[in-house]
Amino acid sequence: MCIRVISVAAVSVAVLTGTQYAAVQSNGTGGGDFHTAATWSEGVVPSPSTSWEILPGDTVTASQSLSLRGWGTGVIAGTLDLGTLDINLGAGALGGFTLQIPSGGALTGRRIFTNRTVRDSVGMIELTGGSLTFTDAIHLTKTHEETSSASSFLMRGGTLNGGTHEFRLWGGNADSRATLTVIGNGGAWNVGPLTLFNTDGGTEQSATEVRFIFENEVGEDALTALNCTSFTLGGNALYIDFTNIPRGDTAASYSTTLIDYSGTLTGSFAEPVFIGLRSGESATLVHDPVNTMFRVDYTLSAVPEPASLGILALVGTALRRRRHV
């Protein structure tokens, strides 16, 4: 397989670096029903486009499904338990909505979905340390092409619990390409079918862009592996970022699992793009059909010891003086 290496600047990745504090907060005294004014510190139920935050220690339930839109943000630092109800992200044509689940937060519901035929009906989910459990499906999909907005899912810790239920993520075209980003190895991903391509007649333009970003680990468990039953692709772009991966005192080779599927595989990735590799380093995407998995094999160079760096600096100085003479 060919290897293509590019610089970090060539492909930028928007990464959540902290909780964005919301305009309306839960009451801090235990929570309550989402649609009840007393649940909120301002005494007013958030509108579908209002940003809000459920504080740690509060548990918010719901008497009806949630419709969220207008480019607002919902921060779930406590618990949002919808039971058998749903969340419609980007409801209507008034813009998408972002759900952030930091450490300590928990979201449970039946289904999280977008209206894929509606312009700007998109959802962004950022799981950075809490838990997200769904008992039917997550469908962040789009077929409406007259838009530049797209759904996305970011995992940088936490747990995604889907059981045997489907996780779908795809965009409408190249300008509204959905993204799936995994950063580091602090999370756990377990779903049923993982579908990253429009199986209802989509083209490569709808294929979700997939990104894996190494942080502080190397080896088998250096990244959160995507565990699923069936796995569906359609020429998806794949970026693997080695910029922040640790290097040792000697050159070494490693393997890291990316996707572990237990059922059928449909489609394939496009040629992978490797970011942040240094001179002399290499990487290869490997599909192992026997063990039903995708992994990345890579060789990293050694980090020069301080003494070696000092010698190199002295040699460089001597060469400069010699040229001057």
What pLDDT does residue 2 have?
41
What pLDDT does residue 6 have?
42
Q: Which amino acid is at 89?
A: L
Q: For 112-171, write each residue's pLDDT tens digit.
A: 999 877 877 889 999 999 999 999 999 998 876 666 688 999 999 999 999 999 999 988
101 SS3 class: strand
Q: Which residues pair with 299 in a beta bridge?
A: 253, 282
Question: Could you tell me the CA-to-CA distances from 189 to 62, 167, 179, 264 in Å, in that order?
Answer: 26, 11, 16, 18
Residue 21 scores a pLDDT above 70: no
Q: For 156-214, write each residue's pLDDT tens digit.
A: 999 999 999 999 998 876 667 899 999 999 999 999 999 999 877 655 678 899 999 99
The residues, ordered by sequence, that sit 6+ positions from 195 with a Cβ below 8 Å of its Cβ are 166, 167, 168, 169, 170, 230, 232
Among 2-16, 66-80, 244-258, the range scoring the smallest mean pLDDT is: 2-16
Is pLDDT larger for residue 324 or for residue 13?
Answer: 324
What pLDDT does residue 121 have?
83
The residues, ordered by sequence, that sit 6+ positions from 222 with a Cβ below 8 Å of its Cβ are 184, 185, 214, 245, 254, 256
Give the rounded percent of residues in the chain with a pLDDT score beyond 90: 72
Question: Token match 């709808």: residue?
Answer: 206
What pLDDT does residue 158 have?
98
What pLDDT does residue 278 have?
96
Task: Indicate the average pLDDT of the chain.
Answer: 87
Residue 322 scores a pLDDT above 60: no
Q: Name the pTM for this structure.
A: 0.88
What pLDDT does residue 159 have?
98
Which is it for strands 24-25 and 52-54: parallel, antiparallel or unpaired?
Answer: parallel
Q: Which amino acid is at 25?
A: Q
CA 55, chain centre distance (Å): 23
Confidence of residue 315 (pLDDT cuts 50, 70, 90): very low
Among 14-18, 113-117, 284-288, 291-295, the range scoring the smallest mean pLDDT is: 14-18
* Length in residues, the chain: 325
CB-CB contact of 110 with 84 (8 Å): yes
What pLDDT does residue 203 have?
58
Q: For 33-68, write each residue's pLDDT tens digit.
A: 999 999 999 999 999 999 999 999 999 999 999 999
Residue 3 scores a pLDDT above 60: no
Residue 32 scores a pLDDT above 70: yes
Is pLDDT larger for residue 151 or for residue 314?
Answer: 151
Q: Alpha-carbon dihedral of residues 98, 99, 100, 101, nearest 10 degrees?
A: -170
Closest CA to 91 of 110, 66, 74, 109: 66
Q: What share of the chain is helix, strand, coil (3-state, %, to 5)?
A: 10, 40, 50
Residue 274 scores a pLDDT above 60: yes
Give the rounded percent of residues in the chain with a pLDDT score beyond 70: 82
Closest CA to 41 of 58, 23, 27: 27
102 SS3 class: coil
Token output for 139: 């469908």
Closest CA to 134 of 157, 168, 103: 168
Question: Could you tell me the CA-to-CA distances from 139 to 18, 159, 168, 173, 239 in Å, in that order?
Answer: 25, 18, 5, 17, 23
